[in-house]
Amino acid sequence: MTRYSLEIRIKPRPGLLDPEGKAIHHALHSLGWGEVDEVRVGKVLYLDLDADSEAAAAEAATAMCRKLLANPVTEDFEVAVTGALEGAGS
């Protein structure tokens, strides 16, 4: 097995209310950045996990998102394997 490093980006679905993004948008405008059109607030998670392959690592992270990390009703997610960690794994 190899230890893989993954990045998971979770963001609100388009068209859904994003009160935090709206508040930041208003604040940016009031501070003089009127050219900002839209702000959406999401989250990024960084995981290291052991898997047999890069595809298996991405599949495991996708399953984690579907079951726990992302709300399937209000959020979309993207999983990216950012690399294999040297000298890691069993």
Question: Is residue 90 a part of any domain in this protein?
Answer: no
What pLDDT is recorded for position 88? 55
Is 31 inside any structural domain?
yes
Which CATH number belongs to the domain containing residue 14 in this structure? 3.30.1280.10
In a domain, 51, yes or no: yes
> How many folded domains does the chain comprise?
1
pLDDT recorded at residue 85:
87
Q: What is the pLDDT of residue 57?
A: 97
Is 49 a member of any domain? yes
* Domain-embedded: residue 89: no
Is 67 within the bounds of a domain?
A: yes
Each residue's pLDDT expressed in tens, for the chain with a length of 90 residues = 999 999 999 999 998 999 999 999 999 999 999 999 999 999 999 999 999 999 999 999 999 999 999 999 999 999 999 999 865 554
Which of 72, 83, 80, 78 shows the shortest CA–CA distance to 16?
72
Residue with tokens 């050219």: 35
Residue 56: give the domain boundaries: 2-84
pLDDT at 66: 97
3-state class (DSSP) for residue 23:
helix
Dihedral of alpha carbons 80, 69, 39, 24, sign: negative
Q: What is the pTM of this model?
A: 0.84
